[in-house]
Structure 1
């Protein structure tokens, strides 16, 4: 059953959402869109867990959607003059300079060119399919400090699939004295009334939808691409001899995974919460009287740092200071000025400052592809078809 509402003139969006849940076989999902700071669609339907309907309060893990949120935290600190993106990371985190990392800048970290997509971990102390290993943040930070760069920093761009969250998180903690998740709640999502967490409180665990892995993740063909010995598998901190589907079932659906703070992998929220963040950015940094960042800072942080093939995954990539930009791999509506971040499996949140759109789609049936998710594309096409031609 589809629930929620659309504003008059946006009925096509409801039709597209229905199509996703029927023809495209979604188990459950939620969608929300804002235009000019006003909510024009908020829809949900299907099952959050077997036999449990998706409701307006259901939370979903958007995986790397959280990288865009972490980028927003860094943007706010830079906008306030507390973070210099061209300073060495070691200026804030002195121990980071070990093993030839002293020249790595915050800009390199935010733009995925720092050369730290993984770190040596011969004892397998950190594995995403063993979520209890994600709670020992001090041990993880020591491993990062002791790691040499995989490539010469600043010379390649490779998606820091998991390490992005630890790197940005520690920079934020060194500056503010708060974890990234706590700072996010205190300074951004709390004032905005946006339900999105990095480090989900136990009291909210009952609201989380269970993720369903794409069947391809259990095949031999996919295992050859993503296993503990391939670059993508190293970046995902895969356990030896385990398949990606196992990581979804044993990792992403485990309460300990939701509780850990790893912005690049386990941000949890509602589609409305994500859409409010991007509606704020699309509206110049302010929503409902709450200013989070300046419009000028957004222009600086979405400036493309790299445009080419990803060193690790091989797909086309256009990236700013954490925010992804439209590319052959990531669609965000018709305007090149859009920015945001997709999540592995089909989730996405983005802002379009031209049409002043904030967009968020959170499904629990994961579909893996190196191009834009068809379900998100269906919803975006319907949304833009409802806008005035001038948009």
Structure 2
């Protein structure tokens, strides 16, 4: 790992504070089992009450989905099942009869929108709505990101298998053994460490994006996918302990950049961990690619993790996760980001409290990723 590349990453990180309105943020880079960079600067609030440090916790929205997918895969393996297990073997009322867990985790089941109203804080309500839902497309007819329903879709099988919530199982089986300061259900003792989030503002590029237009238009499939189950739609709601402690596997993770980057080291097999080779393979092996029915752009997924999609010649359309074809990762709304590259052994995470508007990573993060891999 080139020291000059690490220096370039830190140059971008520092420029974000000078030129791009960063308030507080952390970045962590690991390589082959060792943390090479752990930086945290700025403030937990705009009024500069609490300094931001590398131990500052912050909600990371959908970057939570990868720890959640790993937790479900581990629970399946520990009970004699795997990605190819039919979902109905564990969850008999699941509405897609032929679906396997690989389909569920790679957003292929057509359950991104719920017609039956349910509150995101009421797990039983959401499960009932999922069981009553007619899928929006048939299995094999493509995929579409499940921004919010992914939570109950992963949580319910873990509860049925283990008798524990996904967040509790994550903590006991993965986070504690690895010493990860990352929570899916934050205990009250850690609440004072959480930074305040600030919403992003739209710029011209956001307003011109087809996804954003659909997201802000009532009745569109994309808008409904980001609205069901209901609740936690405003950023200020994510600044409340109720959101941190609820343990929502699609969007409720709270942690540090160092913890998220270390978790990706476990996923790509560069540190000893509870994740077996079979679990790691499921997290890193391609499942589906194509035009995303919700995000309205090409996307590519493993079991719960994103990859950069490829064009017809096999070249990457974008490089959110670096140049390697085997690289994986997942963004969170507003800009938080994590990635792992099995080819180089590099993992990276970035978390912040001044959000961008876009659902995909913005320049603050993308330029760090470009700098990280600039000499590879």
TM > 0.5 between the two? yes
Among 372, 378, 382, which residue is 2:367 paired with? Answer: 378
User: What is the distance in 2 between the residues matched to 1:215 and 1:58?
Assistant: 24
Q: Name whichever of 207-216 and 296-305 sits farther off.
A: 296-305
| Map of 2:81 onto structure 1 | 83
Map of 1:200 onto structure 2: 186
1:331-375 C-alpha deviation (Å, 9 max, x unpaired): 111211111211121111111111101110112122133654212
Residues paired across the two proteins, number: 361
1:160 to 139, 146, 157: 146
Q: Where does residue 163 of structure 2 map in the other structure?
A: 177
Counterpart CA distance in 2 for 1:215 and 1:273 is: 28
The SS at the match of 2:235 is helix
**Alignment correspondent of 1:110:** 105
Consecutive unaligned residues in structure 1, runs of 5 or more: 1-5, 127-133
- 1:237 corresponds to: 227
* Separation (CA, whole Å) in 2 of partners of 1:179 and 1:280: 22
* In structure 1, distance between residues paired with 2:279 and 2:36: 27
RMSD over equivalenced CA pairs, Å:
2.7
Are the counterparts in 1 of residues 149 and 229 from structure 2 also a CA contact under 8 Å? no
Whether 1:298 and 2:298 are equivalent positions in the alignment is no
Q: Deviations over 1:136-172 (max 9, x none)?
A: 2122212222222121133220000101111011111
> TM-score when scaled to structure 2?
0.88
CA contact (8 A) 1:333 1:380 kept: yes
Tell which deviates more after alignment, 34-43 or 85-94.
85-94
- Partner of residue 294, structure 2: 312
Deviations 1:37-94 (A, max 9, x none): 1010001112222323212221111111011111211332354463332222121012
Q: Residues 1-391 of structure 1 correspond to what in structure 2 (within 5 A)?
A: 10-50=6-46, 51=48, 52-80=50-78, 82-97=80-95, 101-121=96-116, 124-126=117-119, 134-216=120-202, 225-237=215-227, 247-282=233-268, 284=269, 287=271, 290-327=272-309, 328=317, 331-369=320-358, 372-385=361-374
Contact 1:330 1:372 in 2 (8 A): no
On the 8 A contact 1:227/1:238 being kept in 2, the answer is no
Q: Report SS of the residue matched to 1:299.
A: helix
In 2, are the aligned partners of 1:79 and 1:293 still within 8 Å (CA)? Answer: no
CA drift of 1:270 comes to 0.4
CA distance in 2, matches of 1:182, 1:224: 36
The structural deviation recorded for 1:233 is 1.8
TM-score (norm: length of structure 1): 0.84
User: Does the Cα contact within 8 Å between 2:23 and 2:44 map onto a contact in 1?
Assistant: yes
